[in-house]
Structure 1
Amino acid sequence: MLSLSLISLLSLPAALSLPLFGLGGSTADDSATGAPTPFSLADVNSTLLRPAQFARVAYCSSASITAWNCGTPCEALKNITFLQSGGDQGLVPLYFIAHDADDQSLVVAHEGTDAKNVLSILNDAQFGLVALNASRFPETAGKNITVHDGFQKTFERTADSLLAGVMSGLASTGVKKVVVTGHSLGAALATMTGAMIKDAVDPSVDVTVTGFGLPRGGNQGWADFLDGQVRLFSPLAHVGVTFVSNQNDPVPTVPPKFLGFQHSSGEIHIVDDSQQNFVACPGQDNANCATGNNVLKSSVANHLGPYFDDITFGGSQCSDSS
């Protein structure tokens, strides 16, 4: 049983809003400052909606995902064949692999932080920068790339079985596209998973990564590596990872830049709660988007959603949520 003091800590809004126990307040002095450009609702629906729907499913129970009977999240996605899952929704967050017949793709979705599960939160709390495991990414050897300690440890717990499942799924379905997605901690894991898959598959396979409420996952070298490694959906095909930040969500501002962390390019920022106004933010850590948020106006609700199409993360929309 958790101690009363720990339960009290985890119940604080500030604690729940930050997977890294409140290390917010990024500096924007060396951030990109290019003017954001409008990103249409049509582009949202064609490039971001489906990954968000899969990322939402990852918060439901393993049993309901296996049966593809998790309520609204599963009902929103038709012609899906479940292939594999892993993790225990605790120290080893859940992931699942599915075949999306409508999109002719293989989908990998990672569960995000469960604020009700201290083991899940502790994955995020180990926020020191450590060397990237270059054995998984041979081209990074000697490039001084460092990543979030907790994210890498969490990624490594399922990386081998996940990659084996992807390779098996590609062989059995014949598709040439892999979509990797997740929210919060799940988004951070998705960036590592996408890069790993890209290294492992035939170059003819299109690997895309889309995250929601993404915290910073590594140093400048990691951000640059992601920008060049994983091709993304048009109209952002020039960047490595697309990630969506929602208004005053504090999570994309942690861990802070002064500790050596840096976002890659590819941010799409939700401007207000209308679910209609979006902008594409040029460069890395654009000060006109989430990086420039005032920490005093941080919103836990913005991290959970809704983002668009009434999509909210965290399991509340699952039929088996408590």
Structure 2
Amino acid sequence: MITSQRLSLLVGLLSFLYVWFWREPSTPAWNPQTPLPFPETHYAQAAGCVQQTYCPASNIVGLEVGDAQLIWTVGDSDAQQRVNIYRSASLGLVVAYAGTNVTSKTSMAINNDYLLDKADPLLGLPAGVKVEGGAQRAWKLHWDEVLEAVQREEPHDPAGRITVTGHSMGAQLAIIASVALEKLYKERVYVLTFGQPRVGNRAFANYIDSTFHPNAAFTSSNSSGSSTLPPHLSYVANGHDYTASLPPKILGYRHFSGQVFIFPANSSTYRVLQGQENRDGTASIWWAGYSMDDHQGAFMGTTLGDIHACPARVGDRF
């Protein structure tokens, strides 16, 4: 009998083979640079906050990372993914999720669980919305603790900003967490993620687009002529990073809008892409060009995903 863990590993293997051998080739676009929806310094600061989640030895309350101070942490990135909470002068309260711990069998098993599951009732999502099962279970393991910390530490100013961020699998968890937080804090919630895989199905992608307005950077006004809500979400893909093509679309997944494409990798050349699954971003990279190195690189000048770059330093690559 095939166990659920073996089935997940089999699906992960088939997905990997699909990405590397059956992906339709195309050529990267060389269009003019598009302005970022948020200040570059905000991306760099968020990247630094996430990088620190990979640094357990120096992950001590009171540590300063750029303009942020670590005020709470939970998880070991083994049984539970690590989550750090900071106070930041530029980003407000920051909730940062660590990515996959490749030395942990538990973390890797979660990472390779590509089966779509119904959205957890806690998220309050419409019928038909599905998300990656492994990511959703990892998010729920310590969501009660994370939410309690956010409610205790969040800025009591009605305009106070809450920024949710993460890298790799941590980016998936950050997206799920941002959906839950938006129910409570509405337009105060902003999302900046890095090296993000796909998170859910088309219905989920449509929900994210309608809730966080990632395409608003391309629209100055709505049909009535009044200003639209500003974008509240952006996710960054670095060069030939393979993770943006996982889990593959053949399994029912779809990227939502809001991708910022760094090309060439680790550079300061960015393109903001409109719409879902835009072929001018990572979707333009042919399978033969995928790189694991670009997954751990320089995101807006900040090293991210490197366990040796500890403690984290904002802007260390520029």
Task: Give the TM-score normalised by structure 1.
Answer: 0.79
Q: Does 1:105 align with 2:92?
A: yes
The 5 Å alignment of 1:106-125 reads 106-125=93-112
The 5 Å alignment of 1:142-153 reads 142=127, 144-153=128-137
Match for residue 148 of structure 2 among 164, 169, 177 = 164
- Per the alignment, residue 189 of structure 2 pairs with 207
Match for residue 84 of structure 2 among 96, 111, 118 = 96
Helix, strand or coil at the partner of 2:96: strand
Q: Which moved more, 1:47-56 or 1:234-243?
A: 234-243
Q: Does 1:141 align with 2:126?
A: yes
Match for residue 290 of structure 1 among 261, 282, 307 = 282
Q: Does 1:60 align with 2:55?
A: yes
Equivalents in 2 of 1:266, 1:156: separation in Å?
A: 25
After superposition, give the CA deviation of every residue in 1:168-197 in whole Å (9 maximum; x if it has no partner). 112668761100001101111110011111
Q: Which moved more, 1:303-312 or 1:240-249?
A: 303-312
C-alpha RMSD of the superposition: 3.1
After superposition, give the CA deviation of every residue in 1:17-43 in whole Å (9 maximum; x if it has no partner). x9x7565258679xxx99965234895
- Per the alignment, residue 216 of structure 1 pairs with 198
Query: Closer, same or farther in 2 for the Cα pair 1:23/1:156, shift >3 Å?
Result: farther
After superposition, give the CA deviation of every residue in 1:62-108 in whole Å (9 maximum; x if it has no partner). x6223344xxxx4x413x343322112213110011212x2261110
The count of aligned residue pairs is: 288
Q: By how many angstroms is 1:137 displaced?
A: 2.5
Helix, strand or coil at the partner of 1:136: helix
Match for residue 77 of structure 1 among 44, 48, 66 = 66
- Per the alignment, residue 197 of structure 1 pairs with 181
Query: Closer, same or farther in 2 for the Cα pair 1:288/1:119, shift >3 Å?
Result: same
After superposition, give the CA deviation of every residue in 1:116-142 in whole Å (9 maximum; x if it has no partner). 222211111111011011x2222x232
Alignment check: 8 A CA contact 1:183 1:214 kept = yes
Alignment check: 8 A CA contact 2:73 2:83 kept = yes
The 5 Å alignment of 1:6-45 reads 24-25=19-20, 38-40=33-35, 45=40
Alignment check: 8 A CA contact 2:238 2:297 kept = yes
Task: Give the TM-score normalised by structure 2.
Answer: 0.80
Alignment check: 8 A CA contact 1:36 1:281 kept = no
Identical residues among aligned pairs (%) = 22
Unmatched 5+ residue regions in structure 2? 1-11, 219-228, 313-318
Equivalents in 2 of 1:53, 1:232: separation in Å?
A: 22
Query: Closer, same or farther in 2 for the Cα pair 1:235/1:41, shift >3 Å?
Result: closer
- Per the alignment, residue 270 of structure 2 pairs with 278
Equivalents in 1 of 2:274, 2:23: separation in Å?
A: 17
